[in-house]
Amino acid sequence: MQHEAVAVDPEDGTAYLTEDNGPHSGFYRFQPNDRSGRIGSLEAGGTLEMLKVKGAECADLRAPDQGAQYAVEWVPIEDPDKDPETLSEIASGIPLLRGSGRSGPYLQGEALGAARFARGEGCVAHAGTIYMVDTAGGAARKGVVWAYEPTSERLTALFVSPGEEAANHPDNITVSNRGGILVCEDGGSFTNAAGDFVGARLLAISGQGEATIFAENNTRLDRPPRGRASIRPGDYRGGEFTGACFAPDGRTMFVNIQTPGITVAITGPFERIGL
């Protein structure tokens, strides 16, 4: 299974996992036998399950309408270590280790009617809701932000990108103390309809499914940063934002620009754009 992100629900210790294996990706949950959250508690094992839409066999959720809601349930994955669809050798004489096609867990879930996503990416738990990103979802294949509510077993397509100008492959996701949703783009730079160059962005997603530009990557280096001779000068505006998270007090947000490898701290007030 091509694991991507995991979010642990602090209410009951359930871990939710995304799978980045387009175009056959599932959304999973792991219910641990030991829910204490202590170091090593997951070694006690548990149950892996895959999300299924109630009353629909193998529902294709790769291109939902914004606001679409689904009643869901979970089907068991009896053998989490089952081999994927295809195994091949990395080099002559080396055992079959390289997997491709549908993963072993996905194949089992599919046999029980579980739902299909395009490419699962970021996942975060906040205030009783699990937010999950399908970076290649939607009719435009530019990304979907899903909201799953465990208490009601309801899945909602909170935001569906109509095109790269709205959102260009959201990836990592975080939520502020006030419940504001922020996503990191992984689509690189592009030129918009007006002919303007647009670097990779951080986007705020409202509860009404509207995307607002919070920050844009305009990193261009004409010389290596002090003490970092290995970082070459160049145009890094297409470098994706990653790992956005808020400090416990909510006043500072930290985020990385993957290439060339920069971490920045951004201070509020974030509430001006709903964060």
pLDDT at 274: 75
Residues lower than pLDDT 70 in the chain: none
Determine phi and psi for 67, rounding to 5 degrees.
90, -10
Q: Evaluate whether 202 touches 151 at the Cβ level (below 8 Å).
A: no
pLDDT at 187: 86
pLDDT at 217: 94
Apex 268 CA angle, 179 and 6, nearest 5? 40
pLDDT at 247: 94
pLDDT at 167: 95
pLDDT at 96: 79
pLDDT at 88: 83
pLDDT at 153: 98
Tens-digit pLDDT profile for residues 189-232: 899 988 999 999 999 998 888 999 999 999 999 998 888 888 89
pLDDT at 269: 83
Exposure class string for 39-54: b at 16+ Cβ within 10 A, else e:
eeebeeebebbbbbbe
SS3 of 1, please? coil
DSSP 92: T
Q: Evaluate whether 237 touches 219 at the Cβ level (below 8 Å).
A: yes
- What percentage of the chain carries pLDDT values higher than 70? 100
SS3 of 42, please? helix
